[in-house]
Amino acid sequence: SSDNFGAPPSSQDKIPQQNLESAMAKPQVVVAPVLMSKLSVNAPELYPSDYSSNYTESYEDGCEDYPTLSEYVQDFLNHLTEQPGSFETEIEQFAETLNDDALQELVELIYQLATSILNFSYMGARLCNYLSHHLTISPQSANFRQLLLQRCRTEYEVKDQAAKGNEFTQKRFHAFVHFLGELYLNLEIKGTNGQVTRVGILQVGLRELLNALFSNPMDDNLICAVKLLKLTGSVLEDAWKEKGKMDMEEIIQRIENVVLDANCSRDVKQMLLKLVELRSSNWGRVHATSTYREATPENDPNYFMNEPTFYASDGVPFTAADLDYQEEYQELLERKDFFPDYEENGRDLSGAGDPYLDDIDDEMDSEIEAAYEKFCLESERK
């Protein structure tokens, strides 16, 4: 029994010799007990120990557990910053708890967070778009979008001073520029016929902000302009083209002038040139429906990529793209001895075989064959 575990066996416990031999002949299979799992698909979600569950618990009850609505809004915005994936599932409940009295404070909180935390600019713009369409307000007060644009205008009006201000002022101004770019892409206006358009005043504002940045061509201002154009350039150019405007051409010309004349760093000039290159490729957009055009040196920058390279007598390399060597290149190209006729599998098509390769067959000579047999015998013995 378990009480006598480890004690010497008594006479009653001794196994007869016959039974012992039988037991040794047929080893017993021990079946492990089946463990029943207590896991359930209906179990509550598991959160890490350092997860701020206080917000989750209080948020489920709405803003009632917060001393002020401001603290509730601030907590929700911080929550979105840490967990942007919860936007879709929690934004509706958040919007339902807000009232008209909190609109001004709400706009200020979103603006401050979106311009102080760079990663929140996109989320803040999405939040502004949602609230501008789903918040119910009284007709006497300005709606959410109007209050938001008024707040942005306050910063916009000091753009020229901010672009030439101290480091702190410029950093704040650049954050505002980035947020306004995100707003332009995400803030939508729905017309009476259901069509969706962007806020036109933001398009005008971004154009003037770019003017302010390029008028003060310091490195930080130019980097901010490059980031803004990478973010919104394709959309802005499409909108200007629809109106018959050449604003993007003017901006590119201004960039080229900055590269030539401004005392910016070499790295920033390189960024500006890369931006010009990006714009020349239609902002990296590929149109699948574009008609096929046969490649020519004029429309394909890689046209000469697979052409052979020759070297002049002074060691200078030249290809088909070098106009100064065009005649010499053509003469070399026509010389058959430079280009033996080969198939893709490498076999010579000229009819003459390689005398060295022709002598090679698959048979081993006697010395190698003897060594190989010796090796096989030694391997079998081992």
pLDDT at 32: 54
Pairing of β 196-198 and β 188-190:
antiparallel
Give the residue-averaged pLDDT of 4-22. 47
Mean pLDDT of 20-36: 53
DSSP line for 51-69: S-HHHHHHHHTGGGGSSSH
pLDDT digits (tens, 9 = 90+) for 197-215: 899 999 999 999 999 999 9
Residues near 199 by Cβ (< 8 Å), separated by ≥ 6? 145, 149, 183, 184, 187, 189
pLDDT digits (tens, 9 = 90+) for 92-144: 888 887 776 778 888 999 999 899 987 889 989 999 999 988 886 655 667 88
Distance CA 76, CA 89 (A): 13
Using the structure block, give the residue that is written with the tokens 């358009």: 197
Buried-exposed string 61-91: b where 16+ CB fall within 10 A, e elsewhere: eebeebeebeebbbbbbebbeeeeeeeeebb
Q: How many residues does the chain have?
A: 382
Confidence band, pLDDT 50/70/90 cuts, at residue 52: very low
CA-CA distances (angstroms) from residue 328 to 103, 331, 350? 76, 5, 26
- Which residue is listed with tokens 């050449």? 246
H/E element holding 196?
Answer: strand 196-198
For residue 190, the one-letter residue type is K
User: Rounded to whole angstroms, how far apart are CA atoms 346 and 34?
Assistant: 65
69-218, which class in CATH?
A: mainly alpha
Q: What is the pLDDT of residues 143-167, one digit of tens each?
A: 889 999 999 999 999 999 999 999 9
What is the structure's pLDDT at 291? 52
User: Pick from 271, 291, 279, 280: which is nearest to 226 by CA?
Assistant: 271
Exposure of 200 in the CB half-sphere (CA atoms within 13 A): 4
Predicted pLDDT at 263: 85
Q: Tell me, what's the pLDDT at 252?
A: 95
- pLDDT exceeds cutoff 80 at 321: no
* Residues forming CATH 1.25.40.180 domain(s) in the chain: 69-218
- Please tell me which of 1-5, 52-56, 302-306 the model is most confident about, judged by mean pLDDT: 302-306
Q: Residue 43: what pLDDT?
A: 62
Average pLDDT, the chain: 76
Instruction: Report the pLDDT value the prediction gives residue 158, as an integer from 0 to 100.
Output: 94
Give the predicted TM-score (pTM) of the model.
0.60
Which tokens hold the place of 80? Answer: 């979105």
Measured between alpha carbons, how far is 348 from 139 in angstroms, rounded to an integer? 86
Question: How far is residue 260's CA from residue 189's CA, in Å, rounded to a whole number?
Answer: 41
Single-letter amino acid code for the residue at 9: P
- Top pLDDT among 41 and 380 is at 380
pLDDT (tens digit per residue) in 263-307:
889 999 999 999 999 999 999 887 655 455 666 666 665 555 556
What is the percent of the chain where pLDDT is above 70?
61
Q: Are the C-beta atoms of 248 and 233 separated by less than 8 Å?
A: yes
